[in-house]
Amino acid sequence: MKIVDLHTHSTASDGTLTPIDLVKEAKNINLIAIALTDHDTVAGLKDAQNMAEKLEIAFVPGVEISVKFQGPGHCHILGYFIDYENSVLKETLASLHEARAKRNILMIEKLKSLGIDISIEELKKMAGGGEIGRPHMAKILVQKGVVKDFDEAFEKYLAKGKPAYVPKARLEAEEAIKIIHQAGGLVSLAHPYYLGLDEDSLIRYVAELKNKGLDAIEAYYTDHDESYTQFCLELAKKFSLLITGGSDFHGENKPEIKLGIGKGNLRVPEEVYEKLLEAFKARAQG
């Protein structure tokens, strides 16, 4: 089976492979297509696209945007085939970047109030020029011996509701969908499992997003088991949505997740990419 991976992250956000190395790895493992969907940034897309053209692997310029969600979990929106030079998209992401920078300072201050000495300079060095986030804080906490591993850093300090946590700036879902559409892209609901909703509530939420312009749902995902994947496929059919899928690869920040295959059982069929591409071309032609 020829497979694709339409949900990945690079050093432009919180992954550990550069955009160029990510595309090289995708080629090495014989993926047919790859999307780069960094969190709230398009900074790595040009480099990734150029390398994909050189290696002759299909590339989808993407983005993953965190949105406000009144529920037990969290909601992310994926944008595909976006024009990453679109001014409205770039300005919106720049404002989110600024808000994230302020959030990082506030989290550093909270850690210091807990007796943990951590600096923005250390975080910048850890991020290697990419977007600073909680994974970098977690790594520093491990290095300093404050916690024994990455998971404990989140469970004890950095996760939602923990002492050093500061809420992330988020767009309304409708706003994120509109901006992605303005940039010529298609919109998919990322990893529905992490919304934390029961089946009936998820059906209602997908209906709500569909009315706001949702184009697709991420049915194939690392943490979706076979039955949940099937449920998402049925949702796609019910609401006439496209299907997307991917590993949510982050490199060494999530070493248990491998590019293309997730935790070993993921297989996103080539036709998922082909149908997404077909829909993008049809919309672009009006």
pLDDT confidence of residue 59:
98
Confidence (pLDDT) at 271: 98
- Angle subtended by helix axes 45-55 and 19-28, to nearest 10: 30
In a domain, 207, yes or no: yes
Query: What is the edge-to-edge ordering of all strands in the sheet holding 242-246?
Result: 242-246, 216-221, 186-189, 75-80, 58-67, 33-36, 3-5, 268-269
Euclidean distance between CA atoms 261 and 279, whole angstroms: 25
Token readout for 166 is 């500061």
Supply the angle between the helices 87-113 and 134-143 in degrees, to the nearest 10: 30
Residue 73 lies in a domain: yes
What is the model's pTM? 0.91
From residue 241, alpha-carbon distances to 95, 138, 166, 191 in Å are 30, 37, 34, 15
Domain membership flag for residue 202: yes
Asked whether residue 216 is assigned to any structural domain, the reply reads: yes
Bridge-partner residues for 249, per DSSP?
A: 8
Q: Which domain holds residue 259?
A: 3-86+185-284
Residue 124 belongs to some domain of the structure: no
- List the Cα angle 104/16/103 in 5-degree steps: 10
Is residue 115 included in any domain, yes or no? no
3-state secondary structure the chain: CCEEECCECCCCCCCCCCHHHHHHHHHHCCCCEEEECCECCCCCHHHHHHHHHHHCCEEEEEEEEEECCCCCCCEEEEEECCCCCCHHHHHHHHHHHHHHHHHHHHHHHHHHHCCCCCCHHHHHHHHCCCCCCHHHHHHHHHHCCCCCCHHHHHHHHHCCCCCCCCCCCCECHHHHHHHHHHCCCEEEECCHHHHCCCHHHHHHHHHHHHHCCCCEEEEEECCCCHHHHHHHHHHHHHCCCEEEEECCECHHHCCCCECCCECCCCCEEHHHHHHHHHHHHHHHCC
- Rounded CA separation 104/123 (Å): 9
Give the pLDDT confidence score for residue 223 in this predicted structure.
98
Give the number of domains in the chain. Answer: 1
Asked if residue 114 belongs to a domain, the reply is: no
Q: The domain that contains 213 carries what CATH number?
A: 3.20.20.140
User: What pLDDT does residue 286 have?
Assistant: 74
- From first to last of its 286 residues, what are the pLDDT tens digits of the chain? 899 999 999 999 989 999 999 999 999 999 999 999 999 999 999 999 999 999 999 999 999 999 999 989 999 999 999 999 999 999 999 999 899 899 999 999 999 999 999 999 999 898 877 778 898 999 999 999 999 999 999 999 999 899 999 998 899 999 999 999 999 999 999 999 999 999 999 999 999 999 999 999 999 999 999 999 999 999 999 999 999 999 999 999 899 999 999 999 999 999 999 999 999 999 998 7
Q: Is residue 226, in this structure, part of any structural domain at all?
A: yes
